[in-house]
C-alpha cells in the first residue's frame, strides 16, 4: 500500500501550462467562473507582481459566497502581508497554514515534513496540478527580481481525476481540523472529523472510464499511505524505456536505486537527457547534486544545466508517450519527507508538447556538462560538494533514511 502506483484512467483533457504566465490566467479564469467552491494548496503564496491577481480572484470568489479554502505551507509561506490577510479573511476566505514554523523549528526533524504539493480544484470539475507556486515568474522571495522567467510547468485537468484531487485535498483539510480541535481540547470535534476523513478516504474506487481522452493518474507522496509511489513510478518508467528519457528537475539528488536505473538505461542504449539547475539558489541542493554527476556522465548520460533563471520544473518525458508533471523533486526532501503530488500521463500528444519545450530549453538555454570539464572542477567546489552532501546525509540519518544512498 505504501508504494502503490495508481492505475492510469482514460477520459481526461489536459492542458500544459508553462510558468505563471500560462498558469495564473488559466487559474484566475477558472476561479472567476466558479459557482460553488475553490480549493487551493500551495507551498508558496506570494503577493508580488502577477501572483496578486490570484489573490484578487480568491477574494472575489469569497465575496460571491463561494466556499474558498487555501492551505499554505508554514515554511514556504511564513507570513501573509497584513493588508492581504485582512482582505482575504474579511471576504470569507478560509486560510490555513500547514505546520507553522517557529524560531527553532529547523532543529526538530518533524518540521522538515512540508506541504510541497500544488493543487487547485474548482467546483469539483476543473483541477490544476504541477510545480508552479503562487509566485510571479520574475520574482523570487530570496533573490528579488529575476533576469528571465522561472522555468516550470503545471497542468489544467478535466475528467475523473479531478474528484480524486478533491478527495485528497478534503482529507488534508479535515486532518488539519482534527489537530486544531485536539489542540483546543475538543475531543468530540476531533473524533467527528476523523470519522469524516475516514469516510472520504474509504469511498469505493472509481470505476474504469471508457471515455475518450488522455490516460492519467494522480500519484501522491505522504508519510502514511503513499510513502514511495512517486519514486517508484519514475523507476518503473525508466526501467521500461527503450529509446529516450528526458528529465527536467530542479533539485536533483536521486537515491541509489534511481541513479542505478538511469545508468542502466543509458548503458543499454537509451538516450538519457537531464536538464538540471545551473543557477545557484540553495547551498545544500545546489552542491549536493554535483557528486552525482560523475557516474551518470561515465555511463553516457547527457547533462545540461539551465541558467537563464531558476529551473523549478519537476517533469519528465519517456519514449515520447509517458510523461509526468508535478511538485516532486528527485531529492530526499521530496521523495522521503514532503507531501507531493504528480500527474502521470500516457498520451502521445501531451508528451510531444512537453518534449518539444524541454528539448528547446536544452538546446537553447542549457549548458552541457562535459565529463572532462566536470573532472577538472575547482577544489573549492569539491569541498562545498562534500559539505553539502554530508549535511544532507546527516539530515537523512536523523530521519532514519540511511538506505536512500
Q: Mind telling me the catalytic residues?
A: 116, 118, 123, 312, 314, 319
Backbone φ and ψ for 391, nearest 5 degrees, come out as -65, -40
C-alpha cell at 145: 527580481
Nearest to 73 by CA among 51, 40, 97: 97
Cell of 360: 528547446
- Return the bridge partners of 23, or none: none
CA distance linking residue 33 with residue 40, whole number of Å = 15
Q: Under a CB-based contact definition with an 8 Å cutoff, are residues 73 and 99 in contact?
A: yes
Strand partners, 219: 342
Task: At 356, give phi and psi (nearest 5°).
Answer: -60, -45
Strands 271-277 and 139-140: unpaired
Relative orientation angle of helices 82-91 and 51-63, to the nearest 10 degrees: 30
**Cβ contacts of residue 94 below 8 Å, gap of 6+?**
67, 68, 69, 70
Amino acid at each position: 500500500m505504501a508504494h502503490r502506483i495508481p492505475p492510469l484512467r482514460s477520459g481526461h483533457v489536459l492542458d500544459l501550462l508553462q510558468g505563471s504566465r500560462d498558469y495564473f490566467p488559466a487559474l484566475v479564469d477558472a476561479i472567476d467562473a466558479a459557482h460553488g467552491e475553490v480549493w487551493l494548496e500551495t507551498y508558496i503564496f506570494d503577493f508580488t507582481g502577477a501572483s496578486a491577481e490570484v489573490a484578487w480572484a480568491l477574494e472575489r470568489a469569497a465575496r460571491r459566497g463561494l466556499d474558498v479554502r487555501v492551505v499554505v505551507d508554514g515554511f514556504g509561506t511564513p507570513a501573509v502581508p497584513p493588508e492581504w490577510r485582512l482582505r482575504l479573511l474579511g471576504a470569507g476566505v478560509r486560510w490555513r497554514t500547514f505546520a507553522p514554523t517557529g524560531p527553532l523549528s529547523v532543529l526538530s526533524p518533524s518540521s522538515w515534513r512540508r506541504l510541497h504539493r500544488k493543487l487547485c480544484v474548482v467546483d469539483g470539475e476543473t483541477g490544476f496540478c504541477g510545480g508552479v507556486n503562487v509566485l510571479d515568474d520574475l520574482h523570487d522571495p530570496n533573490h528579488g527580481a529575476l533576469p528571465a522567467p522561472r522555468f516550470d510547468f503545471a497542468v489544467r485537468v478535466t475528467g475523473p481525476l479531478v474528484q480524486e484531487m478533491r478527495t485528497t485535498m478534503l482529507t488534508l483539510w479535515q486532518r488539519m481540523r482534527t489537530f486544531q480541535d485536539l489542540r483546543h481540547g475538543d475531543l468530540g470535534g476531533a473524533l467527528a472529523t476523523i470519522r469524516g476523513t475516514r469516510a472520504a478516504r474509504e469511498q469505493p474506487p472509481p470505476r474504469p472510464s471508457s471515455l475518450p481522452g488522455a490516460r492519467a493518474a494522480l500519484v501522491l507522496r505522504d508519510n502514511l499511505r503513499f510513502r514511495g509511489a512517486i519514486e517508484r513510478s519514475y523507476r518503473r518508467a525508466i526501467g521500461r524505456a527503450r529509446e529516450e528519457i528526458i528529465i527536467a528537475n530542479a533539485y536533483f539528488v536521486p537515491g541509489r536505486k534511481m541513479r542505478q536505473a538511469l545508468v542502466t538505461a543509458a548503458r543499454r542504449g537509451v538516450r538519457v537527457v537531464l536538464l538540471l539547475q545551473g543557477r545557484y539558489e540553495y547551498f545544500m541542493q545546489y552542491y549536493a547534486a554535483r557528486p552525482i554527476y560523475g557516474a551518470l556522465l561515465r555511463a553516457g548520460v547527457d547533462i545540461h544545466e539551465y541558467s537563464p533563471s531558476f529551473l523549478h520544473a519537476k517533469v519528465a518525458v519517456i519514449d515520447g508517450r509517458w510523461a509526468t508533471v508535478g511538485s516532486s523533486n528527485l531529492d530526499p526532501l521530496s521523495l522521503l519527507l514532503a507531501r507531493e503530488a504528480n500527474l502521470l500521463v500516457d498520451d502521445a500528444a501531451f508528451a510531444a508538447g512537453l518534449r518539444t519545450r524541454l528539448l528547446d530549453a536544452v538546446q537553447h538555454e542549457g549548458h552541457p556538462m562535459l565529463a572532462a570539464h566536470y573532472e577538472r572542477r575547482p577544489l573549492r567546489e569539491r569541498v562545498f560538494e562534500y559539505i553539502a552532501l554530508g549535511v544532507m546525509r546527516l539530515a537523512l540519518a536523523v530521519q532514519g533514511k540511511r538506505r536512500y544512498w
